[in-house]
Structure 1
């Protein structure tokens, strides 16, 4: 079986600097727009209409830049490797100045500087802190290995083996039987995929081969669905939301910081639990088998919880915003915390993991890039429109996200295959593609029969799509 070693964990922790860089930069604006010094410096305190336009443009431009970066990284990942791409991105972030850890840090830094008498320091310092995380990534990059599958793609087999041997070394397996078995499967799968890629005409297959096309739309849809819960609207404009519910001053920033801190905790817990519960399969197994074999879906549970929380939040805002009803307004705050609990637990981690798992090595860069375009195109539209929409149609803006999330739940439940417990090579079979060779560690008879039934059913579904 696969396992975690100290080496694996060290690499994961080093790579969180990358998520910190992104998360901090994306979140720091949510508290910045609540800082009196920022509003005063840019002359935004006396013109609400202009302020809404500027806030929407700032958030929209951030996401537009993300769309461009996602497209560029598709080429660079394959041309120069994952590590070189990571280092360049980190350098750009340094010059320009886990994801939700960055959100939490940005929020609490904003709370601290709010009480400074220096209005310029209030908003400049939190933004300046953002350079620390990509700088940390650059400094630690020598200890981060290159992707072994990418090394296999470009013919550097010996280097790939050295990395795999370190990643999967186990004290109770001195002969490295599992490591050799997995490496054998990787090598054979890369050779098989590359041969199919070359014979099929190269890049155009992404759009012409049904299994690749299905993965592309699933990756894009997963990220689009995550953003269509309204998660980034709540996060980036939570200061405005709490103002509408009657809260003022530093308390607004403290509530916002508690909000993203809860997200950080839920993300951490979800990363440990999702492999036990699955990514997308839900009631399909629940109804046809007993509870012990049900793979509860983090994505579907998260989307459903967010939809319910948004509905309750909209009701509280519609009924009590602008009033002195402390109970109603407190429930409004409660439902925002309920929203982030489901988003961080069920959607945030799972959506990125799922998108990275469904693509084979030779198109993973293209697939992840296209998936992330789904994130950034959605957020460009939603974040740009949000300040004006929240000012004019208020709580009714959330009705769009509620209705669309209900539709997205149905699509994911119906069409998306489960990837829990499978190697990246074995996931190919879920989409009707050939798997080079199974691992030697055998499944039980019942598990094998169940896996075969699901794979056959889902392959037929993919072909139908």
Structure 2
């Protein structure tokens, strides 16, 4: 089993600055909407109906920007590369954050929210793609799972900053500083980007084999090297050989099949597009973003007010951060789809019990009932973060072949942004008029989503398993051709099923071809 190298870890950690950018920018508005200085400055503390409309617009326009960003990044990734796209997203996020912090009226704030949404919409699509393309199969869940973990770490940082500024006597600093702080992570990402190489798989699609091999050879540590290792192929050589052959096969098939229209006309690609979109939509259909963004309203309904609301909100996302890290460790062992279903089920049950507490104890001073209400809020986020959050990003980043991965991930994330536009825009008004009954809709949607995922995602030993397979070999799970299998992946596959690809080359031919690639590439890369 191959292991990641220090070079690999360094890249992953730098990329998580993009995850942090998304998480902080997405969450910072939660506490901002509860800051007295913000409400007073924009005259939202006198007219509740007007305040609800503006709060909905602030969140809705952000998600609309995210949708635009996801559409932008899908093709930009393929044309200009992962690294240029990452830097562009960082600059847009930086501009949006600065404009938010300097907003002088609602119109400027809304424009700034759209720009920020645009930047983070690009970021949330790009980062897991980038991470997946540099991660070894055996640890891809752990490494790409850092995207979800650091997104929620951004939530936690934003919440604790909001707690601190709530007690400031400077009403302007109270809300402007947290908004300005969202510029820190994209700025840090820009500063650290020289340490990040381009994706080796994108380089192969551009025909830049020497640059790709130079990166691949540094990414992995081979645990099976022996004294006679010169007679054997290293893990990096085998992976590079597989990548080259798969890119050649996919490029020819892509051109012969008519190009981009195949994403929706070819059954196996169409299935992946649907699965990615549905995975991200179902994550939002749990009501997670509504609970997170309007958690202040929920606590008010339980009779909790003042600074304690902000402290509970910060603890909420702190628990989520730990649960995401747990998920990143588990998913390489449990599998992606099983973890998603466990998370969806836990969220549905927790939200049902939370609604029961709201229905029975809302507006009362019953400490036990209100304490249980808070407890079920925390069990909800534990299941969401521990089963759905990081897992959904990993799953959507790995089920698409390299030549449509960016478009597929972008289409998947549109499922997130379109859902949140609807759910968050309606949130303030719905919570004001029907209160906890709004969450019943999410309970029903999640029940349907569990059934759909259970019955329509199955294949090969109950679920489409992607753990342990290289990105190229995942094709076999969707009945697409795989150019080359190598020994570690074969061992993993034999433990799960006996499916073989018609494109698999004999071991001796693969070895000879890989050695030829090595000798032709290495001299030009030195």
Q: TM-score scaled to structure 1, two decimals?
A: 0.92
Matched, 1:432 2:479: yes
**Residue 36 of structure 2: aligned partner:** 36
**Residue 154 of structure 1: aligned partner:** 206
Matched, 1:259 2:259: no
Which of 148, 153, 169 is residue 101 of structure 1 equivalent to?
A: 153
**Residue 419 of structure 1: aligned partner:** 466
For residues 29 and 454 of structure 1, the distance between their equivalents in structure 2, rounded to whole angstroms, comes to 50
For residues 197 and 499 of structure 2, the distance between their equivalents in structure 1, rounded to whole angstroms, comes to 37
Deviation string for 1:425-451 (max 9, x for gaps)?
A: 11101111001011123745x962741
**Residue 53 of structure 1: aligned partner:** 53
Which of 369, 379, 399 is residue 440 of structure 2 equivalent to?
A: 399
Deviation string for 1:158-214 (max 9, x for gaps)?
A: 111011000013475364611111111111111111111000000111111000000
Deviation string for 1:356-390 (max 9, x for gaps)?
A: 11000000011011001100000000000001001
Q: CA deviation at 1:455?
A: 9.7
- Please give the root-mean-square deviation of Cα atoms over the aligned residues, in Å: 1.6
8 Å Cα contact 1:215/1:359 also seen in 2? yes
Which of 335, 338, 346 is residue 278 of structure 1 equivalent to?
A: 335
For residues 37 and 148 of structure 1, the distance between their equivalents in structure 2, rounded to whole angstroms, comes to 48
Q: Which runs of 5+ in 2 are unaligned?
A: 98-149, 458-463, 503-526
Aligned residue pairs, count? 439
Q: CA deviation at 1:454?
A: 11
Q: CA deviation at 1:36?
A: 0.8
8 Å Cα contact 1:108/1:254 also seen in 2? yes
Matched, 1:235 2:276: no
Q: Which runs of 5+ in 1 are unaligned?
A: 281-296, 457-465
8 Å Cα contact 1:430/1:455 also seen in 2? no
For residues 496 and 322 of structure 2, the distance between their equivalents in structure 1, rounded to whole angstroms, comes to 34
For residues 15 and 234 of structure 2, the distance between their equivalents in structure 1, rounded to whole angstroms, comes to 28
Q: CA deviation at 1:414?
A: 1.7
For residues 371 and 94 of structure 1, the distance between their equivalents in structure 2, rounded to whole angstroms, comes to 25
For residues 124 and 455 of structure 1, the distance between their equivalents in structure 2, rounded to whole angstroms, comes to 57
For residues 99 and 450 of structure 1, the distance between their equivalents in structure 2, rounded to whole angstroms, comes to 32
Q: TM-score scaled to structure 2, two decimals?
A: 0.81
Matched, 1:177 2:234: yes
Q: CA deviation at 1:403?
A: 0.8
Matched, 1:451 2:497: yes
Matched, 1:362 2:408: no
For residues 270 and 250 of structure 2, the distance between their equivalents in structure 1, rounded to whole angstroms, comes to 15
8 Å Cα contact 2:469/2:489 also seen in 1? no
Deviation string for 1:7-47 (max 9, x for gaps)?
A: 11111111111011111010001101111111111111121
Q: CA deviation at 1:247?
A: 0.7
For residues 299 and 160 of structure 1, the distance between their equivalents in structure 2, rounded to whole angstroms, comes to 34
Q: CA deviation at 1:55?
A: 0.6
**Residue 220 of structure 1: aligned partner:** 277
| Superposition misfits of 4+ residues, deviation over 4 angstroms | 453-456
8 Å Cα contact 2:347/2:380 also seen in 1? yes
**Residue 91 of structure 1: aligned partner:** 91
Matched, 1:140 2:189: no
Matched, 1:378 2:419: yes
Deviation string for 1:94-147 (max 9, x for gaps)?
A: 122221111000000000000011111111111110000000100000111111
For residues 193 and 234 of structure 2, the distance between their equivalents in structure 1, rounded to whole angstroms, comes to 30
**Residue 118 of structure 1: aligned partner:** 170
For residues 39 and 430 of structure 1, the distance between their equivalents in structure 2, rounded to whole angstroms, comes to 52
Matched, 1:298 2:339: yes
